[in-house]
A and B are shown apart, each in its own frame.
Chain A
């Protein structure tokens, strides 16, 4: 009796197994699929990631730069540096960025702001 139970697989077992296998494959697909709404700004100090900012929410942030505090503003899925201490203020003059190929580079403050999103341009030459 017990031997029979171990070796015989009926129709329903088979269906169950197939469903389980399908579910596993589907979950794998979901794990590796990118989120379409994914849009973040990564703020680096030198090579260190100091802040990950969700661009879907309008908010103000502050991070520490080489010369002092650097203020960031998020509005309409765009980000800009609004205040910082540097001789020419090039990075607060740069204005809003929103594409993955755009960056804000504050050389005096050693701050880099990058956008991570599902965009299709890898880099920009200038």
Chain B
């Protein structure tokens, strides 16, 4: 009898020690750790954080991610040409006599994605607006004066329509501006790349374009929305996972003239910056879509925007009005973080 009890106790102890061993080993070898990288592309600060139990793999993946941002940065750069990169600068300044020119498939896809939304948004998302943006930029850079109506209208009249065909683009020198989608689109590509590499837990913040995967410690990520009126402050906190959260606002990048602020987001309808709100934040699965939608909503009066979002599935939005009030689409509060 005694022997049997001793044996059982012995077995239990061996099992417990074995379990302890497993805990220690799994904590050192299998525990997922945080790896992050920061870099500067697309005129913005980009931060990527992933979790992995394989440090070599994690570092390799982060390098690849930086490579993706760099590649799309060059492809969507309007102002510079790069060796062997057929970017939108190359399209605008092409000197060949060919009717159509071949471009990088990746750039072709971005342009195609952007064009798709021109009709859906009644022309408010327009990637053919390069001429008008250039006029505004020249005044911003000079830090003086405002463009005249006729100057803006002339620039708009001279715009060239983008025509895509079988990975080629019509060689009519369109002045393409991908500012409304470049960051969100690339962030979406990066998110898909991470999922493909079996990285499920990640957080990306590319200058106001946030994309999160699963959270490793808690169920949801908590994402603060910056207060346009108070520096270093947030006015709301959103909790979510596997979601994109994108803010468009006129308060961060703007141009001040005669005491009036002109945001960098120009309406293709009026050719002037709009002033319906201080910021709008979109919450939805796809980061490219969120980026486009946040700009679209920024260009719409708030009431119209709420009606528009309420008709969509899987999209919510939060507005910060000019007088500092917060407005929600009908189900946005389900993302609200309660402390």
Q: Does chain A have a CB within 8 A of B150?
A: no
Q: Give the contacting residue for B247; candidates A7, A105, A125; CB below 8 A.
A: A125
Q: Does A83 belong to the interface (CB within 8 Å)? A: no
Contacting B at CB under 8 A, from A77-104, are: 94-97, 99, 101-103
Chain B contacts of A25 at CB under 8 A? 20
**Is B93 close to A, CB under 8 A?**
no
| Cβ-based interface call for B323 (8 A) | no
Instruction: Please tell me if the beta carbons of A125 and B226 are within 8 angstroms of each other in the complex.
Output: yes
Q: Are B231 and A95 in contact (CB under 8 A)?
A: yes
Residues of A within 8 A of B30 (CB): none
Determine the chain B residues whose CB is within 8 A of the CB of A105 once the complex forms: 45
Q: Give the complex CA separation of A104 and B299 in angstroms.
A: 29
Contact B223 A121, beta carbon cutoff 8 Å: yes
Please, which residues of chain B bring their CB within 8 A of the CB of A94?
231-232
**Using an 8 Å CB-CB cutoff, how does the interface string of A42-67 with B read, 1 for contact, 0 for none?**
00101100000000000000000000
A32 smallest CB distance to B (angstroms): 8
Q: What B residues does A102 contact at CB under 8 A?
A: 232
A9 located at the interface, meaning its Cβ lies under 8 Å from any Cβ of chain B in the complex: yes
Contact B281 A125 (CB under 8 A): yes
Distance in angstroms between the alpha carbons of A95 and B99 in the assembled complex: 55
Say which residue of A24, A47, A123 sits within 8 Å of B38 (CB atoms).
A47
Query: Min CB distance, A21 to chain B, in Å?
Result: 6
Q: How far apart are the CA atoms of A42 and B155 in the complex, in Å?
A: 47
Closest B residue to A28 by CB, please name it: B23
Are A123 and B203 closer than 8 Å at their CB atoms?
Answer: yes
| B197-228 interface bits toward A, Cβ cutoff 8 Å, 1 = contact, 0 = none | 00000010100111010010000011111100
Interface readout for B235-249 with A: 1 if CB under 8 Å, 0 if not? Answer: 001000000011101
**What residue of chain A has the Cβ atom nearest to residue B2's Cβ?**
A8
Chain B contacts with A in 28-50, Cβ cutoff 8 A: 37-40, 45, 47
Q: Closest B residue to A122 by CB, please name it.
A: B221
The reply to whether A24 and B205 form a contact with Cβ atoms under 8 Å apart is no
Q: Which one of B221, B232, B339 contacts A123 once the chains associate, using CB atoms below 8 Å? A: B221
A1 close to chain B: CB less than 8 A: no
Measured between beta carbons, the chain B residues less than 8 angstroms from A32 are 27
A75 close to B (CB within 8 Å) = no
Beta-carbon contacts under 8 Å, A5-41 to B: 7-9, 14, 17, 21, 24-25, 28, 32
Distance of A125 Cα from B246 Cα, bound (Å): 7
- Tell me if B's interface is mostly helix, strand, loop or mixed: strand
A-side interface residues, number (CB < 8 Å): 32
A window 104-125: CB within 8 A of B: 105, 107, 110, 112, 120-125
Q: Does the CB pair B234–A9 fall under 8 Å?
A: no
Scoring A94, A107, A123 by chain B CB atoms within 10 A of each residue's CB, the highest score goes to A123
> A112-B45, A124-B223, A124-B224 are contacts. A47–B39 as well, Cβ < 8 Å?
yes
- How near does chain B come to A86, taking the closest CB pair, in angstroms? 14
* Contact B203 A125, beta carbon cutoff 8 Å: no
Q: Bound complex: CA of A124 vs CA of B230, how far in Å?
A: 14
In the complex, how many angstroms separate the beta carbon of B70 from the nearest chain A beta carbon?
A: 13
Alpha-carbon distance A24/B220, docked complex (angstroms): 31
Q: Within the complex, which residue of A21, A47, A107, A122 is in contact with B203, where a contact is CB–CB below 8 Å?
A: A122
**Contact: B247 with A126, CB < 8 Å?**
yes
Contact A107 to B38, CB < 8 A, known contacts A122-B203, A125-B210: no
Q: What sequence of 0s and 1s flags, for each residue 1-42 of chain B, a beta carbon within 8 Å of any chain A beta carbon?
A: 011001001100100100010011001000000000111100
Nearest CB in chain B: distance from A1 CB, A: 16
Residue of A nearest to B220 (CB): A122
Q: What are 18 A-B residue pairs whose CB atoms fall within 8 Å in the complex?
A: A7-B6, A46-B38, A94-B232, A96-B232, A112-B38, A112-B45, A121-B222, A121-B237, A122-B203, A122-B212, A124-B234, A125-B205, A125-B223, A125-B224, A125-B226, A125-B281, A126-B247, A126-B252
- What are the nearest 7 A-B pairs in CB distance? A126-B226, A124-B224, A125-B247, A122-B221, A121-B224, A121-B222, A123-B205
List residues of chain B with CB under 8 Å of any chain A CB: 2-3, 6, 9-10, 13, 16, 20, 23-24, 27, 37-40, 45, 47, 203, 205, 208-210, 212, 215, 221-226, 231-232, 234, 237, 245-247, 249, 252, 279, 281, 339
